[in-house]
Amino acid sequence: MGLSASLYSGTSGLKAHGEDMTVIGNNISNVSTIGFKASRMYFEHALSQQITTASGGGQVGRGVSVGAVMGDFSQGSLESTTEATDLAVGGNGFFMVSPAGQELNYYTRAGNFRFDEDGYLVDPHGYRLQGWAVQESNTSAAATGGATSSETTGVKIKGVPQDVKLENFQSPPQATSRVDMI
């Protein structure tokens, strides 16, 4: 191994380590950011060389580079808040938000939503939360063909995702039929 090859191995390692420190610094600086997902860097060999040794063949690394920076989308901890419009995604999934009057969709796990002056549920950027309309169902025994409530589970949706808007901040009371606890 020549002098320049040895220097390249060392400098490529320092460069990759510096980029890893940037990723770690970004994770630390955003630790209190709502919905932030940390990243992790993966390294790979930049070059390698086959050499012959007394015990046979071998391989010597000639440098390192950044293989990939991957986001960690595992479930984070859920926190209690005093706002009724703060939401959280349990498990896989994202909230879909869209700028008003545009056909763009963005995805986020940050659930800090508030109602704007027009009644739309929006994120801090003013993007409107997207959601499906829920199909109202008649839960009487005659309407379900005699099926019990335990046999009819799930929520039926209709249409395509649209802006979530409350026309009236009051709704008729409805008995709770299912509770999930985490």
> What is residue 101's predicted lDDT score, i.e. its pLDDT?
87
Condensed to tens digits (0 to 9), the pLDDT of residues 117-171 reads: 888 999 999 999 999 888 876 655 454 454 444 445 577 888 888 999 887 767 7
Q: Which pTM does this prediction carry?
A: 0.60
| Range of weakest confidence among 26-35, 58-67, 154-163, 172-181 | 58-67
Buried/exposed 108-147: b ≥16 CB within 10 Å, e otherwise: bbbbebeeeeeebbbbeeebbbbeeeeeeeeeeeeeeeee
